[in-house]
Amino acid sequence: MRELIIELISKQMTVSPTISDDEDLFLAGLNSIKFIHLIVDLELKFDMEVSDNDLTFETFSTIQKIMQYVHLKSPISKK
């Protein structure tokens, strides 16, 4: 799952091959427009819908947090 998430993030910004799972993506260059594109990509790739309540920078600020969210919300990640 990590590789797929990094692939989707890479569509929106340059990602260092050594990026850590807890590095703040917004400090690394993700902005609000790119954030929305990333959310749409995550929804499509993992067959899930991000609720309005979950649509916060904090929820998706790191690779680790994204992986946790996808694991909880995506039916694909449970297969």
Report the pLDDT value the prediction gives residue 79, as an integer from 0 to 100.
53
* pTM of the predicted protein model: 0.92
Report the pLDDT value the prediction gives residue 75, as an integer from 0 to 100.
87
Please say whether the beta carbons of 23 and 5 come within 8 A: no
Closest CA to 4 of 43, 53, 59, 42: 42
Please say whether the beta carbons of 24 and 61 come within 8 A: yes
Each residue's pLDDT expressed in tens, for the chain with a length of 79 residues:
999 999 999 999 999 888 999 999 999 999 999 999 999 999 999 999 999 999 999 999 999 999 999 999 998 866 5
For residue 45 the two structure tokens come to 């790739």
Every domain of the chain and the residues it spans: 2-12+21-78
Is the domain spanning 2-12+21-78 CATH 1.10.1200.10? The answer is yes
Q: How far is CA 48 from CA 16, 21, 35, 71, in A?
A: 27, 22, 16, 10
For residue 3 the two structure tokens come to 């590789």
